[in-house]
Amino acid sequence: MSARSVGLPSRVPAPGLPERVTIWEVGARDGLQNESGVVDVGVKLEFLDRLADAGLGVLEATSFVHPKWVPQLADAEQLLAGLRRRDGVSYPVLVPNERGLDRALAAGVEHIAIFGSATETFAKRNLNRTLDEQFAMFEPVAGRARAEGLDVRGYVSMCFGDPWEGSVDPAQVVSVGKRLLDLGCSQLSLGDTIGVATPGQVEVLLAGFTEAGVDLGRIAVHFHDTYGQALSNTLASLRCGVSTVDSSAGGLGGCPYAESATGNLATEDLVWMLDGLGVQHGVDLAALAATSAWMAGQLGRPSPSRVVRALTG
Amino acid sequence: MSARSVGLPSRVPAPGLPERVTIWEVGARDGLQNESGVVDVGVKLEFLDRLADAGLGVLEATSFVHPKWVPQLADAEQLLAGLRRRDGVSYPVLVPNERGLDRALAAGVEHIAIFGSATETFAKRNLNRTLDEQFAMFEPVAGRARAEGLDVRGYVSMCFGDPWEGSVDPAQVVSVGKRLLDLGCSQLSLGDTIGVATPGQVEVLLAGFTEAGVDLGRIAVHFHDTYGQALSNTLASLRCGVSTVDSSAGGLGGCPYAESATGNLATEDLVWMLDGLGVQHGVDLAALAATSAWMAGQLGRPSPSRVVRALTG
């Protein structure tokens, strides 16, 4: 008798969790925008195709940030033109401003995401704007997008810590989040951009949104694994009632503003936990891990996802 | 203004956690026994010294398993003779059988750990014994150790999955654990040797021990990070009332019986979470991470701990 491959965890549900989680896959955008090299558009298209084959229903595809800032995604139009769209799969794109919205509309996009900072300092560093100027920029983007029938997601960066300001007041995050919802965002994604959060912080912030009257069904969480905390924070979020989780296939991604920031929560590590907990998600783990292993080969470095390495190493 | 180094998480306590956690540091034993090379005894002594300096109060130092099986720890006597013992620090050692106990007693050891399998197959593979034969071997070891005034810990391997048997019945684990307690073990360490567990499994197993009348104050958890689940499972354990957690500095270690098994939970990643949650542990994170970075240099490969890489990379 030889050791058999361990491909799936035992399924033992735990109380207090959502029945189903929506995985918002950000690998093609948040992942690849932080790679030092530029990936060929054909590889990106195959990546998105394989992610859809693996059962992911939301694939954040690219970004219309100016190519000067994110040359890795300068092929956004070409990518969207080549995309083999599937029924039931959504392909949101990041849009920073009206020029980006014009490009997204011209490319036939149906779902956009705008991204704001929770802190003044990061707004200044990332967008060269004050928070008020940030919202003045968002207002026509969200307004026109809604008028065109597009769905709009709002990202909030640096929700749990900021490399310049240090700790971030949850009340400040709730205030920024509410302003994004007031602009017409259907959903907020709360980002731990530098990966410093721990579960108590997560619970306090989510309680702050609940107290402010925001249904946690409209909240997604977006953790980076810089300090190895992403999955624990996700577990804490699920127990609070969150049911949308951002992650990136193979743990691709990072944050160029914090040099040590490693990738996003790996989708495979999340899927392993959800499979064990009996929470539905629709993803075929083996197909996903094979896709991430293939992508790691394209990038010429091993996947940071522990599940990918264990299943495909 | 430049980005400041993020050295510590914001402290935001969460309800339902122990006030203080004992970290049982296994890097020098479980970590180094799974390294492919043999580390010089002088390096090991410096490692243990620096771990004590960093505030760790339990340092599992070495193992008296036969050097044929674990050549990495063949220097156990030399190590213990050279150890600069500190007040308030415990240095348990692993003991497999009476011969190992003889060696431990001769070396002046005060605290031993015996290790059993939760499953018949792993007992056969690891000890070449049935479970009953395993306990027949333990009985005189634990009996003599207790008679000599030694403290005895009992490890249970493969509590959440076995590479040959697949899933493991929690009732079987509770039964094996109870037998170890009946032999005189003061504490049980429940090992996820192949790293497959998820939080629901952890909660069900701990509830099984509680139902069997075992105080969770006598239970430690020992997670491997093979599938990235170790810290989430630790969080779930703490919320059940466990207050002793095994981990290894820098995430050293693995399991030679499962080729993909990466290291133990990294002590630094655990400390980051505990610091954030306001749970006391007595460890200086910066000193610990610097020690692990130094040890990674000795081993010639990067630390698998995300915190170590973020703080020292």
Tens-digit pLDDT profile for residues B14-65: 999 999 999 999 999 999 988 878 899 999 999 999 999 999 999 999 999 9
Q: Please answer yes or no on whether B309 and A200 come within 8 Å at the CB atom.
A: no
- pLDDT tens digit sequence for A112-155: 999 999 999 999 988 789 999 999 999 999 999 999 999 999 99
Subunit contact B275:A10, Cβ cutoff 8 A: no
> Please, which residues 21-80 of chain B have a Cβ atom closer than 8 Å to chain A?
none
Q: How many CB pairs under 8 A join A and B?
A: 183
Cβ-defined contact of B201 to A278 (cutoff 8 Å):
no
Please indicate whether, in this complex, the C-beta atoms of A9 and B196 are within 8 angstroms of each other: yes
Mean pLDDT on A80-91: 97
What's the confidence (pLDDT) of residue A198? 98
Q: Is residue A260 over pLDDT 70?
A: no
pLDDT number for residue B5: 53
What is the pLDDT averaged over residues B200-214?
98
- Which of A5, A6, A309 would best serve as a mutation to test chain B binding (most B beta carbons within 10 A)? A6
Residue A2 has pLDDT above 80, yes or no: no
Q: Is the pLDDT of residue A230 over 70?
A: yes
Average pLDDT over residues B244-250: 97
Place of tokens 């390294």: B35
Which chain B residues touch A277 with a CB distance below 8 Å? 198-200
CA distance, residue A226 to nearest chain B CA (Å)? 6
A252 in Cβ contact with A31 (< 8 Å): yes
Residues A81-96 have a mean pLDDT of 97
Contact A277 B199 (CB under 8 A): yes
Where is A140: in which H helix or E strand? helix A131-147
Q: Which pLDDT value is given to residue B260?
A: 45
Show Cβ contacts of residue B149 under 8 Å, excluding neighbours closer than 6 positions. B110
Q: Does A96 have pLDDT greater than 60?
A: yes
Q: For residue range B91-115, list pLDDT tens digits in order.
A: 999 999 999 999 999 999 999 999 9
Burial degree of B138 (CB within 10 A; 0-12, 13-18, 19+) = buried
> Residues A238-244: what's their mean pLDDT?
98
pLDDT above 70: residue B237: yes
CA dist., res. B306 & res. B303, Å (int): 8
B233 to chain A, any CB pair closer than 8 A? The answer is: no
Choices 3.40.50.10880, 3.20.20.70, 3.40.50.300, 3.40.47.10: CATH for A20-312:
3.20.20.70
Structure confidence at residue B127 (pLDDT):
80
Global ipTM: 0.95
Give the model's pLDDT for residue A232: 98
The more confidently predicted of residues A260 and B238 is B238
* Poorest-pLDDT segment among A4-13, A88-97, A210-219, B118-127: A4-13
Contact A88, A52 (CB under 8 A): no
Any CB–CB contact under 8 A between B7 and chain A?
no
Question: CA of B251: which chain A residue's CA is closest?
Answer: A228
Mean pLDDT of all residues in B279-293: 97
| Domain ranges, ordered by start, for chain B | 20-312
Report the side by side order of strands in the sheet with A151-157.
Answer: A58-59, A22-25, A244-247, A219-223, A187-192, A151-157, A111-117, A93-94, A62-63
pTM given for the model: 0.96
Asked if B6 lies within 8 A of A163 by C-beta distance, the reply is yes
End-to-end Cα, chain B, rounded Å: 22
Q: Tell me what the mean pLDDT of segment A193-219 comes to.
A: 97
Mean pLDDT of chain B: 93
- For residues A273-296, give the mean pLDDT: 97
Check residue B256 and give its pLDDT.
44
Q: What is the mean pLDDT of residues B183-194?
A: 96
Query: Please, which pLDDT band fits residue A254 given cuts at 50, 70 and 90?
Result: low
Mean pLDDT of all residues in B118-139: 92
Tell me the mean pLDDT in the region A73-87.
96
> For the ranges A127-131, A152-156, A277-281, B274-278, which has the lowest average pLDDT?
A127-131
Which of B223, B226, B306 to mutate to test binding with chain A, by most A CBs within 10 Å of its CB?
B306
The DSSP code for A36 is S
Q: Mean of the pLDDT values across residues B187-214?
A: 97
Mean pLDDT across chain A, nearest whole number?
A: 93
Confidence of residue A5 (pLDDT cuts 50, 70, 90): low
- A167 Cβ contact partners less than 8 Å away, ≥ 6 residues apart: A161, B10
